[in-house]
Amino acid sequence: MNTNAVIRLMSLLSIWMWTGQGLIFQPELSPSDLQGKITSNTVTLKQPYCVFNKTCDGCVIWLVAALSSENRTFDSQLTTSAPDVLNKSPYPRAFEPLLWDFFVTKVGPLADFPCSQSSNDVYFRVGAEGKCSGTNCNGILPVGSNVSFKYLLINADNLIIVNASDWSESIHLKTNQNPQSINDGLSARSAAMIVITSILSVAAALLLLLFFIMLCVAYCGRSKDISQGQATSPMKVMNSIRIPHYDTHSLRGKAHPYDNPGYVSEGKNYSTSETLPKSGIQTQKL
């Protein structure tokens, strides 16, 4: 127990020594333009450039992903012996109730992350391996939980935890909303719909009205006039003959139709020959 306490104190001291150097001594979200930095079960972090400035051959950076509520529990369990931490909480069951609520996964050798080559284009996605089951695999986090991260610098040769960074800020993972909660009812009526509907309804009604007015004017007006005894137009009668002129006697072809040619005069000449009609009548000598 005493050696444990001393070692813990030493590691804390070494941490304090390095925090004053202007390093960002904790895992951070990637600053680049990514669409899904925080999803419901993954987080995209910056790669650990410039976190540990120590030179240490054979040292490897590991990441601890834990529920934010379990940060202190993890710290209190932290010894310098790496296998303790690495094997304590195997991934697939790590977040089940009554277990440790953290897992540890490898990020990369310290030599791969020199401060001078710091770049924001690269990233480390926690949860990249999905629902995996290998030892210390990079599995997905519990949906909607609050998680924090910590880097551990572990010497691969003698399996000692050389250094441990601070905990990152607590990151709240998104909870997935139920799509049934989306209200897909009618949102609003557009202006076009109101214009078209109203104008067309009025037009149809107007057309019907004009149609009836036309029928009234064309037919109702005429029946009124007939009842007053005057036809407004000539009567048409079926089956009668219309001819322009008709006479009772057939007198065509005669010059003086009403003269009687058998008339004989009494013989007295009361008038001279100049006054008598000249044609068609014989005068007898008395």
In the stretch 231-250, what mask flags binding to other proteins with x, by CB under 8 A? --x-----------------
State which residue, 188 or 286, has the beta carbon closest to other proteins: 188
Residues 119-148 that bind other proteins (CB under 8 A): 123, 125, 130-131, 140
Using CB under 8 A, which of 97, 179, 234, 244 touches other proteins? 179
Cα gap 176→41, rounded to integer Å: 10
| Window contacting other proteins (CB under 8 A); options: 10-18, 61-69, 176-184, 244-252 | 176-184
Assess 178 for contact with other proteins (CB under 8 A).
yes
The span from the CA of 127 to the CA of 143, in Å, is 11
* Binding segment (CB under 8 A) for other proteins, from list 77-85, 153-161, 209-217, 268-276: 209-217
H/E segment holding residue 60: strand 59-67
Q: How far is the CB of 251 from other proteins (least distance, A)?
A: 41
Which tokens in the block code for residue 168?
């990152």
Distances (CA, A) of 207 to 192, 204, 212, 215, 221: 22, 5, 9, 12, 21
| Cβ neighbours, 10 Å, residue 150 | 22
Least Å distance between CB 65 and other proteins? 15
Question: Is residue 65 within a helix (H) or strand (E), and if so which, with residue range?
Answer: strand 59-67
Give the separation between CA 62 and CA 51, rounded to whole angstroms. Answer: 12
Smallest separation (angstroms) from other proteins to the CB of 174: 6
Q: Taking a C-beta distance cutoff of 8 angstroms, is the pair 176, 36 a contact?
A: no
Identify any residues that bridge with 153 across adjacent strands, giving them in sequence order.
61, 163
If the CB atoms of residues 180 and 239 are measured against other proteins, the closer one turns out to be 180
Q: Count of CB atoms within 10 A of residue 165's CB?
A: 24
Interface residue with other proteins, options 25, 44, 85, 105 (CB under 8 A): 44
Q: Least distance to other proteins from the beta carbon of 183, Å? A: 6
Closest by CA to 63, choosing from 51, 77, 80, is: 51
Rounded to whole angstroms, how far apart are CA atoms 223 and 225?
6
- Shortest separation between residue 205's beta carbon and other proteins, angstroms: 10
Applying CB under 8 A, among 72, 189, 236, 252 the residue interacting with other proteins is 189
Residue 88 interacting with other proteins (CB under 8 A): no
Q: Which residues bind other proteins (CB under 8 A)?
A: 32-37, 39-42, 44, 123, 125, 130-131, 140, 174, 176-180, 182-184, 186-190, 192-193, 196-197, 199-201, 203-204, 206-208, 210-211, 214, 217-218, 233
